[in-house]
Chain A
Amino acid sequence: MAKTYYDPADLRKFGKITEWNEELGNKFFDYYGKVFEEGALTAREKSLIALAVAHTEQCPYCIDAYTKDTLQRGVTKEEMMEAIHVGAAIKSGATLVHGVQMMNKVNKLDG
């Protein structure tokens, strides 16, 4: 077993997942590639969304990949940090909005 769970060099091997299931692997990469093409949203906007989601998913590979990708697209560090705050705000909002559920339950159980 590897000494660490994550190895930065593994990111380069991502494509190898097709070796153990070519059909599904290829379908995934075709889909993935298509998603990030210029569309109603620019590739730059999509890259920033991906960077924010990479953080909420806490995926080190994705953070590596999309930090570089946004840099390549001329995104500034101020823009990157703002994007991450958007992700963080949704994460904390998603936690806190459940507070209403707690409040409802308390009100029902304990008047």
Chain B
Amino acid sequence: MATKSLKKLGSDLAQSNKQLEILSNGIFKTGELPTFKDKISETSQFPLIAKKLEILQINVGYMCNQVCDHCHVDAGPDRKEIMTRDTMRQCLEVIKTSGAHTLDLTGGAPEMNPDFRWFVEEAAKVGIKDFIVRSNLTIIRANKKYYDLPEFFKKHNVHVVSSMPHWTRGKTDKQRGEGVFDMSIKALQELNAVGYGMPDSDLRLDLVYNPSGAFLPGDQAAMEKDFKKALLEDFDIKFHNLFAITNLPIARFLDFLIASENYEDYMYQLVEAYNPTAVKNVMCTNTLSISWDGYLFDCDFNQMLELPVNSKSRHISDFNEELLEGRNIVISQHCYGCTAGAGSSCQGVVA
């Protein structure tokens, strides 16, 4: 189990250019596998073009109380990148004027940003249709000051989306750390207690599943059924939907793939499961990702790879929705992660 971020460890892979180098060399350079560009060109889907903006995803900081094995953000307690209130104010202006129907706050653990509650209160006033906070669950039990988060989320009608890699303790703790399973169960029970996740409730509680190793997620609907049955029987927990998300080969997951000699096999799996129908609905075509320091990216993964949007509008301070619409999406081989099988996005499958 990891205890420090790659950045803190001074690992080569903490540098985004090193990751991009790995993704462009080897089996992709020799032509053993086609590059993502070549693959989507086969079905005339290159270049990928941004459609109308629907989802604004804001990463309010990389600090986290957990150090999960496969984190694509390389988040952890030692990460100090945190969004300031000034940048949040600029985001609020954009939320007010943009046509996006969904606001999606992520991190790290977004709740650890000292201005998180202020930001949620202000953003909730704008009256956006779907207001998501991606919570790792354990943060709710990490410290007394977070105990009231379920009530706080409820007050602002926040849609809670939480990571839960498995319905058993062994698999969960292996991936996310000792004790994470028990704390997550307790947090889910507390969310249920205030009304989250109940069958007819407007208080939405969805779970995110991502595989614990070098394999792809199974069928989302079947996994949801298994999760619901086990969590209900074992802990009397209810939730709405399960999103099955594929691990993208970047940051700590890439580090794991290389160290465990699974990298090539994993890339083969992704390429063999390539689904052109999923390409039509990849999230980068209707989403913008905003980093802690206000820069704009096609997705959270490109943010971590420091691949900025291909547009003159590059920062929240000069946000221009018209300029951004129709931009060419920046791609590399990690994009295969979103087009394998039924596809993958922050909202689960796309095909």
Contacts and interface: CB of A to CB of B under 8 A. Distances in A.
- The yes or no verdict on A and B being binding partners is yes
A76 B213 contact: no
A100 B82 CA distance: 74
Contacts of B171: 76
Nearest to A79: B168
A91 interface: no
A44 interface: yes
Contacts of A72: 211, 215-218
Contact of A42 (B215, B216, B222): B222
Contacts, number: 36
B272 A43 contact: no
Interface string A65-90: 00010011110111000000000000
A43 B268 contact: no
Contacts of B216: 72
Contacts of A42: 222
Interface in B138-168: 166-168
Contacts of B227: 74
A38 interface: yes
Interface of B, helix, strand, loop or mixed by DSSP = loop
A43 B168 contact: no
Interface in A34-72: 38, 42-44, 68, 71-72
A74 B166 contact: yes
A12 B170 contact: no
Contacts of B212: 71
A1 to B, nearest CB: 24
B93 interface: no
Nearest to B168: A76
A72 B211 CA distance: 7
B225 to A, nearest CB: 8
A72 to B, nearest CB: 4
B215 A68 contact: yes
B208 to A, nearest CB: 14
Interface residues of B, number: 20
Nearest to B167: A74
Contacts of B223: 73-74
A37 B222 CA distance: 12
A73 B215 CA distance: 10
Nearest to B212: A71
Interface string B198-224: 000000000001011101111100110
Given A12-B272, A76-B168, A76-B170, A38 B215 contact: no
A43 B211 CA distance: 18
A73 B272 contact: no
A38 B222 contact: yes
B222 A71 contact: no
Given A12-B272, A43-B219, A68-B215, A74 B226 contact: yes
A12 B268 contact: yes
Interface in A88-105: none
A44 B226 contact: yes
Interface string B207-250: 00101110111110011001100000000000000000000000
Nearest to A42: B222
Nearest to A43: B222
A95 B205 CA distance: 53
Contacts of B222: 38, 42-44, 73
Contacts of A12: 268, 272
A68 B213 CA distance: 10
The 3 closest A-B pairs by CB, nearest first: A73-B218, A72-B218, A71-B215
Given A74-B218, A76-B168, A76-B170, 17 more contacts: A43-B222, A44-B218, A44-B222, A44-B226, A68-B215, A71-B213, A71-B215, A72-B211, A72-B215, A73-B218, A73-B219, A74-B167, A74-B209, A74-B226, A74-B227, A76-B166, A78-B170
7 contacts: A44-B218, A68-B215, A71-B211, A71-B212, A71-B213, A72-B215, A78-B170
